Amino acid sequence: MDQYLTNFHSIMNLIYTCLGVFGVIGLLIVGGRILNWVWLRPRKLENILRKQGFKGNPYKFFFGDVKDLIKMGEEAKSKPIGLSDDILPRVVPGDVDTVEKNGKKSFVWLGPRPLVYLMDPDTIKEVLNKSNQFQKVRGDNPVTTLLATGLVYYEGDKWAKHRKIINPAFHVDKLKNMLPAMYLSCNDIMNEWEKLVSAEGQCEVDVRHYLENLTSDVISRTSFGSSYEEGRKIFQLQREQSTHIMKASQSIYIPGMSLLPTKLNNRIKEIAKEVKVTVRSIIHKRLKEIEGGETNQGDLLGILLDSNFKEIEQHENNTSFGMTIDEVIEECKLFYFAGQETTSNTLVWAMILLSQHQDWQNRAREEVLQTFGNNKPNLDGLNRLKVVYMILLEVLRLYPPVAALGRSIHEEIKLGDTTLPAGVILQIPVLLLHHDVELWGDNAKQFNPGRFSEGVVKVTKGKASYLPFGWGPRICIGQNFAMLEAKMALAMILQRFSFVLSPSYTHAPHTVITLQPQHGAHLILSRFEPKI
């Protein structure tokens, strides 16, 4: 018995020793990976970049430049600027500071990862044309994907499949059929404004609120047809979600943080669930209508479902060639966010700029009245609005919806005369490019729609220096939709109203995913009285 106990204790001691050894080995492996992530790898990447002429701050353990970038951003947002001031130091203070100190061939540290600026249009064109090699940056924090994934998020074969299925929804003939829905939404807002100004002939209005509702209504009608009232709820939720997502993306993500039941995480997940349930309900309702023999309503959802069914049928009913219901939901969420947010901000900045530049406002109104009089705008006439189109192009140059585009590198790659290692993030600073004197001339920071009188290609000389909708294979699929909606809205505004900046307007552009006025857009609206 004693011998048995002795053997048992010996075996247990051996087991404990082995477990201890394995535990130590495990800790060493994990510790080594952490050390590599937060110190060894960043230092190696830094050496590679510096040897090739890139300049930036020395790497600081774990946080890199994040704390300084956040501080610069908070300070910039704390005070407004003058109407004639350069907007860059307020909107992208970190970019401005880095490029001013280190030149165009520079980098900053987003935690342990270096972000390299791309400022050369030829290099930018190469990167954006090679979308399989230079893929979109994926945030480390999983909650950031809960706003929307869909086409802008996918890569490779999945992206190609979704693009093919979605393309029919944005053909010109389909967009033409959506004009009545756009008109109804615009007309509702115009009627509201007329009521506000009816008493005294003019009124101060924060047009941002109304234009957000306008574009929300447009995307609700054109996306969901008869279900657009339900779609309005999505707008409110997605707006709140974008603010939360922006906040979550501004901190360094440590694996597992998204699982913590924090107030922010919980709210982001609640909104995502509610939006998904609402969209799923709309889709199931539409599928039942289709099963019952009802015809396609001609809205984006109907076209998308029809295109999806046809793609599956063409491949002998193999559903792997189509989209799942969950994927359709994500595309609808993306339609809603991208289609609403970007166009509303473009219209807001257009009205702010035209308030400052009455000569261009008058030229645009004259063109609209010559084309339509007081009649309902039509597709042919909208396509002939050259001055309005030039104005919108210039607005998108000065105030592009997205201030920067990011791309990631997953394996060592040659780019021009530079070799970039895996792990580097590439940033295309759209706002800096659009305001670059070397690319746009001495008046680069001034509002001058006339620069587009002969089109985008002529003024940019074919270079990738104008990127409000991106470039290359992944250029925004909805750009024609957005421009048609913006032209319709601006034409109807000019038909009925003139406008100037209110004394209470505060110029404070800032970014919450998209570039928008921090304190609204307070204008004085007046009923337009044509001279007889």
Q: What is the pLDDT of residue 62?
A: 87
- Mean pLDDT calculated for residue range 340-360: 95
Task: Name the packing angle between helices 325-356 and 207-224 (round to 10°).
Answer: 150
pLDDT at residue 404 greater than cutoff 90: yes
pTM, entire model? 0.90
Split at pLDDT 50, 70, 90, the class of 13 is: low
Q: Report how far residue 372's alpha carbon sits from residue 68's, in angstroms, rounded to the nearest whole number.
A: 53
pLDDT of residue 140: 66
Query: Quick one: how many helices (H) and strands (E) in the chain?
Result: 20, 12
Q: Which tops the pLDDT comparison, 288 or 363? A: 363
Strand residue runs (E) in 195-318: 202-206
Per-residue pLDDT averaged across 424-441, rounded?
Answer: 97
Q: Please state, as a whole number, how many other Cβ atoms lie within 10 Å of the Cβ of residue 195.
A: 10
Higher pLDDT, 256 or 174: 174
Please determine, for residue 409, whether its predicted confidence score (pLDDT) is greater than 60. Answer: yes
Is pLDDT above 80 for 528?
yes
Give the pLDDT mean for 259-271: 87
pLDDT of residue 143: 75
Tokens of 269: 């997940």
How far out from the chain centre does Cα 307 lie? 25
CA distance 246 to 240: 10
Confidence of residue 345 (pLDDT cuts 50, 70, 90): very high
